[in-house]
Structure 1
Amino acid sequence: MSNETSRFVVSADWLRNELGKPDLRVVDASYYLPAHARDANAEYKAGHVPGAVRFDHDKIADHSVPLPHTVPSPDLFAAEVGKLGIGADDRIVIYDGFGFWSAPRAWWLFRIMGARNVFVLDGGLDGWKAAGLPLEAEVPHYDAKIFKADFDQGRVVDLETMRDIVSSGAMQIADARAAGRFTGTEPEPRAGMRSGHMPGARNVPVGSLSEGGKLKSLTELRQILETAGVDLSRPVVTSCGSGVTAAAITLALESLGHTDNKLYDGSWSEWGSRQDTSVVTGAAELVKK
């Protein structure tokens, strides 16, 4: 494996040269935790990549469940992104502030809903700003499009399926939370939630996959995953705090040609808040099955 980069990322220079082309849509999918002390909507209004529309993870979600930003129905997703002027055949470039935090979640959502030409901006908006590239505060308005959703529901794992995976070991579990939360030495940011991890899970902290907001090379990604105990020849389900940063592991896997993966949408917000789920603490035991 060479040091080539993922086929799912584009550089700021590439995007700058493509801005304004009719088949391109740029999407600001920034999302932050309270600890980040950043307001994604306010930052978008203050200045975004020219032509970028705003994708709100909490708005385009299934509000019939108590969990945060759960995968929406295909009809809701199609209606909301269609209003933004996005079609399933468009080239879609997604970014967040940090680079690889919440953008991969939107990348994953668009892909499981049927879009294929979906990419993440390497370096994110912070990198774009640091390079002195142009911003605009005006909110763009595009003609609405019909987004023809082709939902791949098999890529989304629910609670009962996750219980089966944990008990059977049929899939490897890759958890994107920080090491302290994974091992149980640090509390969860959400009240009333246990820290620790699912039995058998491997820890792949989201921050380990990028540097300076840019996704690491394929060689580095492979090494990170394998060092964590992830066997790239076997199926993987990704997880995190609330289903957002799990998608960064998904993007890393797909970049390496690993397509037998799913994402646990409820993630630790669901698993860690229940009293009938198994939680273990300490470092993962790297035992080959």
Structure 2
Amino acid sequence: MNVHHVIFAIFFAVVAISAVLADSSQQNDVVTYEEVKALKDNTSVYLFDVRRPSELVETGFIPGAINIPIDTLEDTLKNLSSEEFSKKFNRPKPDLDTILVFYCTTGIRSAKAQKIALDLGYINAKNYLGSWRDWEAKLKAEKAT
């Protein structure tokens, strides 16, 4: 085997390992209904509802969630001082290593919110992929049993 073949083999091994790691890290960035349900007593994790306030009025919201609409999220996380954030949301502004969980109606806006947070340096931004629809359906199913 010549040097080019070795380099070629190493390159493809690195690409394959990177793909596996990327896949597993994406799984760690998604939370489930059970994980969100367990957040109600966990004050070290922030749950953000990124829907418009009118949507919350229509459907309700997950207990403990902070409503920051997607169109104001970046500005809020980036530019609101700790004091302003605390005054507005009655919680300290999250640190860059705080776990942030985002949800919306179906998981699309929350995925965008997760990306915004990651781009701002929040290293533990997560997406509740099923979002409100999953929450509502599972909560109804639990009450029915």
Structure 2 SS opposite 1:172: strand
Q: Which is bigger in relative contact order (C-alpha 8 A, separation at least 6)?
A: 2
Identity of aligned residues (%): 23
1:241 correspondence with 2:115: no
Equivalent in the alignment of 1:160: 34
Residues 229-275 of structure 1 show CA distances to partners (whole Å, capped at 9, x for unaligned) of: 56221321111111110123222322321112211111101112332
Give me the CA root mean square deviation: 2.9
Change (3 A) 1:164 1:243: same
Deviation at 1:219, TM superposition (A): 7.7
Does the 8 Å CA contact 1:243/1:265 hold for their aligned counterparts?
yes
Matches within 5 A, 1:1-289: 148-149=19-20, 150-151=22-23, 152=25, 153-182=27-56, 184=57, 187=58, 195-209=59-73, 221-223=78-80, 226=85, 227-228=88-89, 229=91, 231-233=93-95, 234-273=98-137, 274-275=139-140, 276=142
Mean alpha-carbon deviation: is it higher for 218-227 or for 239-248?
Answer: 218-227
8 Å CA contact retained: 1:238, 1:249: yes
Could you tell me how far apart the structure 1 residues matched to 2:124 and 2:77 are? 20
TM-score (norm 1): 0.35
When residues 219 and 231 of structure 1 are mapped into structure 2, their CA distance, relative to the original with a 3 A threshold, is: closer
1:166-194 Cα deviation digits (max 9, x unpaired): 24344110111111122x2xx3xxxxxxx
- Native 8 Å contact 2:111 2:129 kept in 1: no
**Distance of 1:201 and 1:161 partners within structure 2:** 14
Task: Check 1:159–1:257 CA distance in 2 against 1; reply closer, same or farther (3 A cut).
Answer: same
Judged with a 3 Å threshold, the aligned counterparts in structure 2 of structure 1 residues 269 and 254 are, in CA distance, closer, same or farther, namely same
Alpha-carbon distance, 1:161 to partner: 1.2
Number of residues paired by the alignment? 115
SS class of match (2:114) = helix
CA contact (8 A) 1:172 1:201 kept: yes
Q: Which amino acid aligns with 2:100?
A: V
Mark the runs of 5 or more structure 2 residues left unpaired by the alignment.
1-14
Whether the 8 Å CA contact 1:175–1:201 is kept in 2: the answer is: yes
CA-CA distance at 1:220 after TM superposition: 7.1
In the alignment, is the contact (CA less than 8 A) between 1:169 and 1:200 conserved in 2? no
SS of the counterpart of 2:126?
strand
